[in-house]
Chain A
Amino acid sequence: MAIKQLSVFVENRAGRLARVTAILEEAGISIRGFSLADTVDFGIARLVVDRPSAAAEALMQANLLVRATDLLCIELPDTPGALDVVFTAVGEADINVEYAYSLVSTYVVLKVADIEAAEELLASKPLRLASQDDLARPLAGGSRQD
């Protein structure tokens, strides 16, 4: 149940990030989660969106460098210790998390080498894995109450 993340190469110059968000706005794409890592010269903007293919196409049309990566997306209950369940589980199973960030609402995405193994592991915990379809609907303003 991997979800797609889009990584975009952005130079560290004023307005470069705004160019990315403006293109997505124009294409009517909703951003569900976002992380920006940067060095002095360039950054990689990582985005989780409602319609990844449409977003990738819009960005590539604008001549931007875009790469799609599979991630695992987990919905967490908004209670103390929820994130700990995730990281303790993957830590004990010796799964290396390359990076992780949270989406709007109490979702967190993880980049791991073996998505299926991590998925199987986390599914056995009191956590819900979110699908690409879940991301097609708004996440904020009330996580699913089930």
Chain B
Amino acid sequence: MGMTPHQPIYHPAFECASREEIRARQLVLLQEQLAWAYERVPYYRERFDVIGLKPGDIRTHEDVRLVPLTTKEALRETYPYGLFAVPLDQIIRLHASSGTTGKPIVVGYTREDIEHWRFCIMSIAQMAGVVPGDRAQMAFGYGMFTGGFGLHYGMEGLGCMIIPASAGNTERHIMMIEDYGTTVLIATPSYALHICEVGERLGYDWKKSQLRVGLFGGEPCPPKLKREIESRMHIHCTDNYGLTEVMGPGVSGECLSSRDHQHIVEDHFYWEVIDPKTLEPLPENAAGELVLTPLQKQGIPLLRYRTRDLTSVTCEPCACGRTSARMKKVRHRSDDMLIIRGTNVYPSQIEDVLASIAGASAYYHLTVDNESGLDRLTLDLEVKPEAFSDSFTEMDAFRRAVADRLKSVLQVGVAVKLVEPGSIERVMGKTQHVTDSRP
């Protein structure tokens, strides 16, 4: 291989195998998974039968496109247990998505699923530089959300001391980091920034803490936010990727060598990238929607699940020594896309613009409404202390500079409203950046 890993690799036999070996093993696992779903889940059997497809027809990677795609609606329609492949007495855990619209989606895990999940977390934690003996403080909420328990058991599996602080009570988090010598912080990036800010306000010197690694998830982590947390808290921030439907966190993670990509745990996830409009598979490195098939799921097998996350995947070997495929960090979701007066707008474009303007904070809220038939965008933006001036002219110039930059990038006018620091709600889980109140 010729490359030396910087950190121990959890499962080198697979993470560092040749692409041919990895793909061959994936195909075998996929064929087993197709049979598992077809034989045990009526929903899948019907969908195969209607097009005259049998699991055995999938003999090559090329054939995978014949398998019908699964969407979130399938989970909603069959709520709560319709897609489960085993009797409920074999399910030892339930989790559910946040369910911001209507009913949540529910997923179940067998004992073996929980074991596999732990394996996935151990892999991605080691990618991020976590080692046995680390003291990992959990700032995700426990409960139905997969982030809390998922990371909890994975970190324990790796031999870390887990501090199950849970979400909320920021001052107590800071006290624990100090008193317990926490080395790894597990949080959403926006909550990590909040912890950082509260600590600074209380006069806590982050340089003195033993924190070394930020293990972030639950929401996308824009590079600027990451750099900001790194320079203020003196830690190395990584973010990992996952979704409740296919397992939770543990689908892919960031290694120490490739900061804008995440290694997919390919022993457990078959990945494809498709064109979200034509639904046709796209070649390596092409940008499109990520489609995932868990490869060793018993409780709730999902076949070709449309994640709605837009990315591209590269199979180039990584400087860290891993040969596993890497997905580009997800910045857009195909269903986050707003269509404003016929133009496509992604919240991440707004984040990029804000990141490029000194004095603009990362805290914003976008409101879309429609006044007399015309879509209107309003951005509430928190002002950073360095951007506050006693002069109205300067404040207004700052406001207009933000509006002008947004207009040139988005091609749509945005009314910018400056708001006080702290006035945009900090959410412990996912930050809701957009309110679309169009009729």
Chain A residues in the interface with B (C-beta under 8 A): 5, 7, 9-11, 16, 37, 39, 41-42, 44, 46, 63-65, 67, 69, 98, 111
Contacts and interface: CB of A to CB of B under 8 A. Distances in A.
B396 interface: yes
B20 interface: no
Interface in B372-419: 383, 385, 388-392, 395-396, 417-419
B389 A67 contact: yes
B390 A42 contact: no
B388 A11 contact: no
B395 A42 contact: yes
Contacts of B422: 63
Contacts of A7: 388, 390
Contacts of A111: 390
B406 to A, nearest CB: 16
Interface in B38-84: none
B420 A44 contact: no
B383 A44 contact: no
- Interface-central residue, A9, A39, A98, by most chain B CB under 10 Å: A9
A98 B391 contact: yes
A56 to B, nearest CB: 12
Contacts of B277: none
Given A16-B420, A41-B418, A65 B385 contact: yes
B419 A44 contact: no
B146 to A, nearest CB: 33
Contacts of B419: 11, 42
B208 interface: no
B423 A44 contact: no
B383 A39 contact: no
Nearest to B417: A41
Contact of B390 (A16, A63, A64, A67): A67
Contacts of A10: 420
Given A65-B385, A67-B389, 4 more contacts: A9-B383, A39-B396, A64-B420, A111-B390
A39 B418 CA distance: 11
Q: Which 7 A-B pairs have the closest CB atoms?
A: A7-B390, A65-B388, A41-B417, A63-B422, A69-B390, A42-B418, A67-B390
